[in-house]
Chain A
Amino acid sequence: MKAIQNNPQSVAKDSQIVIALAGNPNAGKTTLFNALTGLRQKVANYSGVTVERKEGVWNFENQAARLIDLPGLYSLEATSLDEQIARDVLTGKVTGLPIPDVIIAVVDATNLERNLYLVTQILEYKIPLVVALTMIDEFEREEHEINTSKFSKMLGVPVIAVTASKNRGIDELTQKVSELIQIKPEIDFELETDSSHSENAKIFARYNFISNIVQETVKHKDLEKHRFSEKIDRVLTHKVFGLIILVAILLLVFQTIFSWATVPMDLLEHGFGAIGDLVKANMPEGLLTDLIVDGIIAGVGGVLVFLPQILLLFLFISILEDTGYMARAAFLMDRLMSRVGLHGKAFLPLMSSFACAIPGIMATRTIENPKDRLATILIAPFMSCSARLPVYALMIATFFAGQTVFGFISVGAILMLGMYSLGIVTAIIVAFILKKTLLKSPPPPFVMELPPYRLPNLRNVFQNMLTRAWLFVKRAGTVILAISIILWGLMNFPRAGNVYVNTPNSQNLAEEQQSFQQSEQLKNSFAGKIGHFIEPAIKPLGFDWKIGVALIASFAAREVLVSTLGIIYNGEKDANEESETLKNAILDAKNPDGTPVWTPLTALTLMVFFVLAMQCMSTIAVVRRESNSWAWTLFMVGYMTALAYVAAFITYQGGKLLGFA
């Protein structure tokens, strides 16, 4: 016996105490988890599914325990993925995770009956359990009273009142948990049901048991609980004002992501530019320097530039979720969203995707049903994001500047509105088709709690924001780094020999020589060859091989189209949608037969293609991560690109038939 105890393996096992936190959504579970673990936590997925696996280290009484934060649950027996995972954790079916030594059940004191339902289920797993009674200050403020010792006795497990944000009850909870680990009390819990033993009879028996306890131990001074919330709801979910306020909140979120975020984004962009210049200045000229500057720094920089938007969106989402407003937004929008078979909760992620699909797709995590979530992810990139703007802007500025309809409506504005509408309409149609075919499932049920309004917990908000940001940087960053290097390689190999510009009288010979060298390099590179190779396929869209190269490069990120066109046409590397020389170069470009490459119709076709095509490796990486499936990711890239091709084909050929060209 002693020999076994001294076995180092069993010692290691003993030191690995596992404690699970379980509770209803909105019960204060996250606040408690953050208070117990601080920053010592990690977020991953349970293997093979998209359910988030949150684990932290809880240091107590000289030992470190693994604290598992189970997903928010109402029940352990219904069919949702979260509930299945929670069950697997409680029965030790998750690899690398033994059956928990103790469970802390988080119970919201202001919503006792429904919160206790889960506890009656957990008790059946016969794992030592302690109830952490949260929101007790709110409960007392509403002048309710609870006889905790009687409550604990009737339930058969210890009950500790905690207010995690004020550290109240944490020490007692710690003490109780370590006590339970030592004693390992036997749990014997069985409810009597009627003779049928049906599932329904079990539910009735549980609620009978609960009602009994609550009746005996709780005194409600004022039966009208959550009066404050009801008053706020009168305005926020009002048929008219509610919608107006929702729009106003969305505008604020957009304004922030769309325009205010540009300040830190520009800073980041310039910062990476400066780092690139610094490296260039301090390293010998050559391929390695080019790889580091143009491949790695530019590639990674191109991703990190999105970070301010992601941080800001998640700041808003966390606040909206923590206050309870998110559920109201879903409540207000569900009727509209359910028309296309989506859940009300899909509204916000889709709206966010107008700024950038990446945070939008990450925000779909609030949708529980995996099929609804996937459908939302698959249509989110149709929302015209900010990266498409430079492309639209360049095309409009070059071909439609100053034109008006009826003398006062600018053609540019109409085209802009048209591109946004095309994305929205396509998204609606695709969602409708997906929900009828591949992602066929009954219309998602909308049984959703409207939690009482509460002040957001700052710690939760910031922790959530940082976790998301870190996940994005870590996962998307690795994939993007690889793709950036590949793209750089495609555009720089094989090497073109030195070619010389033959305008010896030019004043800026050195500069012209460099840009000429660059466009020659591109022409002879693999990317250039691919451009030539796909030319027959894109010819019906009115695109030549040069536009083809720009299209290929823009699969890294849409706005890359502008800088690539810059390189192709005159080696103007820092081209942007405002640059006059690029506009002129585009207008001057000629086909071998002397006709212009670009016409207004080509520009329109290109814009249509950009609305619908999946050209953003950051999004691809995020979709892969969020859907946990390469098959769905490739499906998305495939169907979007096919759709873009068909729509561009119809635009160009239709336009030609109608006599535009």
Chain B
Amino acid sequence: MTNPKSNSLAHLPIGEEAKVLSIAGNSPVTRRLMEMGIIPGVSVKVVKTAPFGSPLQIKVRGYHLALRKSEAETIEVLSSKSKV
């Protein structure tokens, strides 16, 4: 059951804090994302996007990570705003 208020990281507005709910897929990329610390419960923030809309720069566990939009789409997040 997906949370109706949840969304993918790719669509999270810039600067908005969110909590990771799940990461879809079973590829090496999924695994790499999790090993880089993107696991359910961790908070993430999109800092900016590159000139042509991809990749995204996100902040997680106090450091900055770049990932493509297609990769961000596999990460389901719950915005801190939607809780209010």
Size band of the interface chain B makes with A: 20 to 34
In the assembled complex, A65 has its CB within 8 A of some CB on chain B: no
Interface residues of A in 62-119 (CB under 8 A from B): 74-75, 77-79, 110-114, 117
Residues of A within 8 A of B73 (CB): none
Q: Does A455 interact with chain B (Cβ within 8 Å)? A: no
Q: Is the CB of B64 within 8 A of A200?
A: no
Residues in B with CB closer than 8 Å to A334 are 50, 54-55, 66, 68
CB–CB A446/B51 < 8 A: no
Interface centre among B32, B57, B62 (most CB of A within 10 A): B62
- Contact of A239 with B51 at beta-carbon distance under 8 Å, contacts A117-B35, A199-B31, A447-B36 already known: yes
* Docked pose: A199 CA to B52 CA in angstroms: 35
Contacts A203-B34, A445-B68, A447-B36 given; does A335 touch B54 at CB 8 Å: yes
Contact A450/B39 with A335-B50, A335-B52, A335-B54 known, Cβ cut-off 8 Å: no
User: B42, B57, B68: which has the most chain A beta carbons within 10 Å?
Assistant: B68
Contact of A447 among B33, B47, B52 (CB under 8 A): B33
Q: B11 an interface residue at 8 Å Cβ cutoff?
A: no
CA distance A447 to B32 in the complex (A): 8
Residues from chain B with a CB closer than 8 A to the CB of A112 are 62
| Cβ-defined contact, B62 with A200, below 8 A | no
Q: Taking the complex as formed, is A338 at the interface, i.e. its CB lies under 8 A from any CB of chain B?
A: yes
Instruction: Please tell me if the beta carbons of A226 and B51 are within 8 angstroms of each other in the complex.
Output: no
**A-side interface mostly:** helix
Is B29 on the interface with A (CB-CB < 8 A)? Answer: yes
Q: Are B39 and A207 in contact (CB under 8 A)?
A: yes
State the CA gap A462–B35 with chains docked (Å). Answer: 33
A225–B55 contact, CB under 8 A?
Answer: no
Q: How many angstroms from the CA of A237 to the CA of B51 in the assembled complex?
A: 8
Per the 8 Å Cβ criterion, residues 1-45 of B in contact with A are 28-29, 31-37, 39-40, 42
- Shortest B42–chain A CB gap in Å is 8
Q: How far is the CB of B32 from chain A (nearest CB, A)?
A: 5
Q: Is the CB of B64 within 8 A of A335?
A: no
Known interface pairs A114-B63, A237-B50, A243-B51; A338-B37 also in contact (CB < 8 Å):
no
Task: Say whether A478 faces chain B, with CB atoms less than 8 Å apart.
Answer: no
Shortest beta-carbon distance from B53 to chain A in Å: 7
A79 & B37 in contact (Cβ 8 Å cutoff): no
Find out whether the CB atom of A78 lies under 8 angstroms from the CB atom of B57. Answer: no
Q: Is A229 an interface residue (CB 8 A)?
A: yes
Chain B contacts of A77 at CB under 8 A? 35
- Given A114-B63, A237-B48, A334-B54, are A75 and B68 neighbors across the interface (CB < 8 Å)? no
Q: Which residues of B contact A450 (CB under 8 A)?
A: 57, 64-66
Q: Are A117 and B66 in contact (CB under 8 A)?
A: no
Complex CA distance for A640 and B49, rounded to whole angstroms: 37
Complexed CA–CA distance, A451 and B62 (Å): 11
Known: A117-B37, A447-B33. A229 touches B51 (CB 8 A): no
Taking the nearest CB of chain A, how far is it from the CB of B48, in angstroms? 7
Determine whether the beta carbon of B66 is less than 8 Å from that of A226: no
From residue B40, how far is it (CB to closest CB) to chain A in Å? Answer: 8
Hey, which chain A residues are within 8 Å of B37, CB to CB? Answer: 113-114, 117, 207
> Distance (Å) between the CB of A409 and the closest chain B CB?
31
Interface contact B62-A113, CB-CB below 8 Å: yes
Central interface residue in B36, B53, B64, by most chain A CB within 10 Å: B64
Chain A residues contacting B42 (CB-CB under 8 Å) are: 207
Query: Given the complex of chains A and B, what is the CA–CA distance between A240 and B54 in angstroms?
Result: 14
Cα-based distance from A242 to B61 in the complex (angstroms):
25
Interface string of A328-372 (1 = CB under 8 A from B): 001110111010000010000000000000000000000000000
* Alpha-carbon separation in the docked complex, A447 to B54 (Å): 12
| Nearest 3 pairs of A and B residues by beta carbon | A335-B52, A450-B64, A445-B29
